[in-house]
Structure 1
Amino acid sequence: MTAKLSVLFVCVHNAGRSQMAAGWLRHLAGDTVEVRSAGSEPAEAINPVAVAAMAEVGIDITAEQPKILEYEVARDSDVIVTMGCGDTCPVFPGRRYEDWKLDDPAGQNLDAVRPIRDEIKARVSELLAGLQRAA
């Protein structure tokens, strides 16, 4: 039996996009994938509009807290998905990297965040399908 793959979602504040992506992957993959998220400059709290958008689809991310991107977490992740963290994301040979261009939900209302949430779901679903094919 092989160890679980780990996926790290990284954005600047770890308060919106990366938290929604982590919520989707936990929801869709269950305990088959280790899910991590972090930010290069974490906020004090998760964006309440991102929390509300996820709650609309039955995913509760209220218990999550923004975390600083730590070298060891990135090094020990199999897949690293960046969402606007730029050059602050460390690069490790042998890791799979994806850079998702997504609008930032910061400062936006729920109507503006819903399409971001839905695009993240589509990308996470595609990522998970690829991981399952490779397993």
Structure 2
Amino acid sequence: MPSPIRVLFLCTGNSCRSQMAEGILRHLGGERFEVCSAGSHPAGYVHPLAVEAMRDAGIDISGQQSKSWDEVAERWFDLVITLCDSAAAEECPNWPGGPVTAHWSLPDPVGARGTDAERLTFCRAVAGRLAAKIGQLIASPLEEMTTDQISTHVRWIAGL
């Protein structure tokens, strides 16, 4: 796999989970990765819970934009990872180049019930799970792996 490794994170609204994943990989992965996120039905904003949870982790995502997957449908990606069950069930664009795809099912912090503090705590927990998965991705020798090995590996990461 060539460097930089191009990664797309998807969720329906592209306002929370996929935005946090984009920020985490950009922050931790450095120049080895080129990352973006998108959604099937973008909310049009990055959710304040995501911005605050990431700020607490030392990552600024306040400048990121919520966007439609139509805006990136012509771009080539090496990995396309869905983060919500509804986006995984949708008919995704036919990504050029046949990227490796995987689904990392994570609960939606935006839909969490409770006080603002409880919802933020939940969002931080989801961000922590994303960071663990992304940490495994970064630690992997992706450039030395075959497409089948990468596919198996990113699906294994889904179970973490």
The TM-score with structure 1 as length reference comes to 0.89
Partner of 1:110: 120
Match 1:134 to one of 139, 142, 156: 142
For residue 97 of structure 1, the aligned residue among 88, 95, 101 is 101
Please tell me whether the aligned partners of residues 3 and 32 of structure 2 are also in contact (alpha carbons under 8 angstroms): no
CA contact (8 A) 1:20 1:117 kept: yes
**Which residue number corresponds to residue 130 of structure 2?**
120
Determine the C-alpha separation between the residues in 1 that align with 2:123 and 2:3. 35
Counterpart of 2:6 in structure 1 is 6
**1:64: how far off?**
0.5
* Structure 2: 5+ residue stretches without partners: 113-118, 144-160
1:16 aligned partner, one-letter code? C
CA distance in 1, matches of 2:15, 2:129: 17
CA distance in 2, matches of 1:129, 1:89: 28
Structure whose residues are more often helix by fraction: 2
**Which amino acid is 1:134 matched to?**
L
CA contact (8 A) 2:3 2:33 kept: no
Structure 1: gaps (5+ residues):
none
CA distance in 2, matches of 1:125, 1:3: 17
Instruction: Give the TM-score normalised by structure 2.
Output: 0.76
How large is the RMSD of aligned CA atoms in angstroms?
1.5
Matches within 5 A, 1:38-117: 38-70=38-70, 71-73=73-75, 76-84=76-84, 85=87, 86-92=89-95, 94-108=98-112, 109-117=119-127
Q: In structure 1, how many angstroms separate the alpha carbons of the residues matched to 2:108 and 2:13?
A: 10
Q: Secondary structure at the match of 1:31?
A: helix
> 1:89 offset after TM fit, Å?
2.1
1:20-39 counterparts in 2 under 5 A? 20-39=20-39
Is this contact kept in 2: 1:5–1:34, CA < 8 A?
yes
Q: Which structure has the greater CA radius of gyration?
A: 2
Separation in structure 2 between the aligned mates of residue 30 and residue 36 of structure 1, nearest angstrom: 13
Q: Tell me the number of residue pairs that the alignment of Structure 1 and Structure 2 aligns.
A: 130
